[in-house]
Structure 1
Amino acid sequence: MPEKKLRVELLTMTPDALELTYAAFRQCYHAGFVADMWPRLLNGDIEKEKQAEFVSKVLESGHDSPIEHVSFTFAVEGISRACSHQIVRHRIASYSQQSQRYVAENDMDFIIPPAIRRIPEARERFEKFMEEVGSAYRDLREILVAAGRESKANEDARFVLPQAAETKIVITMNCRSLMHFFNLRCCQRAQWEVRAMAHLMLEKCKESFPAIFRHGGARCEQLGYCPEADRFACGRYPTLKELTGQK
């Protein structure tokens, strides 16, 4: 049962993402039909730099619904079941997660929280428990198979598996959902594991679609202040209360 490391890969994104976003934004302010403009966009008659500048300026105004037309699909491994439960709370998205019903966990990989990893006695106890869980899972699975539950052994034995169990997941989100995801999960208040994953996703989004995702990240980076209550602020940015001198 080895410890698993985080890995995030961008599988695909909507083709012609900049052109599509530009066309969607333009349709909101253009008297004509953007389908007539579309061939010119694909042919490069309107420079990509001008398209990106237009998209970025409109986005800064707070008008962001047209970016929903573009989506990104990621493959993620090396996260815990605890982390995946946080991810799937973002509802405007699609998920395909590795099933513990159909995939046997005889050699379960796991995730160790950094705070536990840093303390030798905590890590020793954690890893010992992972071994105990793995042994219990294998024993239960063998007992169930012997009792005639072979096709259902995985789904019954998995009840002893911990939240630390490693999982793999495919995630698809549109750009607007991703921006919201990054607002929340790149924040210092986010749990360490989902925050690390969000930052890796954001890096790939910035590389692939900078016109949109140069604005991405924790909410405070866009606002210039921390929108959290004083007791939750990490100190990276002043709170709105501090900024305005409110008491």
Structure 2
Amino acid sequence: HTADSQDQRHRTVPGSRPLLSRTVPGAPDVIEPELIQSDPAAHRLFEDAIADQWQARTALLELGASPEVALYVLPNALTVRFEESGTLLDLLHKWTMRSCLNAQWEIWRASMDEIEQVRAVHPALMEHVGPPCVVRNGLARPRCTEGSHFCGVPVWRSFPEVERRI
């Protein structure tokens, strides 16, 4: 859900978003933040909270609430699955902006997944795709366009094999 909200900023890359009230699965389908995954106590708390939210949604539906109203108890971690398509130029812009380590985690992860999928089919086409520091490497200085917000990681040396740390 959060990544989809970020993704909609790239309006030149159309996507058919599903009607969320009609596509929420019966069982929890969420993206768990890495920091929570790495801590057993936080992970259990997260799982319990997600289960409670799904049960609350089910209870609301059983009480006669509309599917649209029942959505309000679900988390921002809800997975929204859809396909999008666009011109290579528009996708390149999105991937350049959103594969930077300074991008919000959710849209960064989604963009990296997209880059990996295209790279598997067209590796030569994707050789120079990545965040601004990868695109500008050897062509312009400074490599990073973030100025004082440079992440400190020399991503251009190993992209797409980068480890994002919080």
Same fold (TM over 0.5): yes
Unaligned ranges ≥5, structure 2: 138-142, 155-166
Among 219, 229, 246, the alignment partner of 2:147 is 229
* 2:4 is equivalent to residue 84 of structure 1: yes
Structure 1 equivalent of residue 74 of structure 2: 161
Matched-pair contact (CA < 8 Å) for 1:96–1:170 = yes
Check if 1:134 corresponds to 2:54: yes
Point out the more displaced range, 90-99 or 186-195.
186-195
- Shift of residue 103 of structure 1? 2.5
User: How many angstroms does 1:236 deviate by?
Assistant: 2.8
Q: Which amino acid aligns with 1:234?
A: C
Higher strand share: 1
- Relative to structure 1, the CA distance from residue 160 to residue 140 in structure 2 (aligned partners, 3 Å threshold; closer, same or farther) is same
How far, CA to CA, are the matches of 1:211 and 1:110 in structure 2? 33
Where does the alignment leave 5 or more consecutive residues of structure 1 unmatched? 1-80, 238-247
Identical-residue share of aligned pairs (%): 27
Q: Cα distance, 1:211 vs. partner? A: 5.5
Corresponding residue of 1:4 = none
Aligned counterpart, 1:191: 104
Distance in 2 (alpha carbons) for counterparts of 1:111 and 1:236: 25
Q: TM-score, normalised by structure 1?
A: 0.56
Distance change >3 Å, CA 164–CA 204, structure 1 → 2: closer
- In structure 2, the partner of 1:31 is none
Q: Number of residue pairs matched?
A: 150
User: Deviation string for 1:108-162 (max 9, x for gaps)?
Assistant: 3111100111111211111111111011100000001xxxx6xxx2112111111
2:94 maps to 1:181: yes
Q: Identify, as 1 or 2, the structure richer in helix.
A: 1
Paired with 2:14 and 2:74, the residues of 1 have a C-alpha distance of: 25
The answer to whether the 8 Å contact 2:2/2:106 transfers is no
Please give the secondary structure, in 2, of the residue aligned with 1:167.
coil
| CA deviation vs aligned residue, 1:58-106 (integer Å, no higher than 9, x gap) | xxxxxxxxxxxxxxxxxxxxxxx11111111111011112322222543
Q: For residue 164 of structure 1, what is the amino acid of its counterpart? A: A
Aligned to 2:84: 171
TM-score (norm 2): 0.80
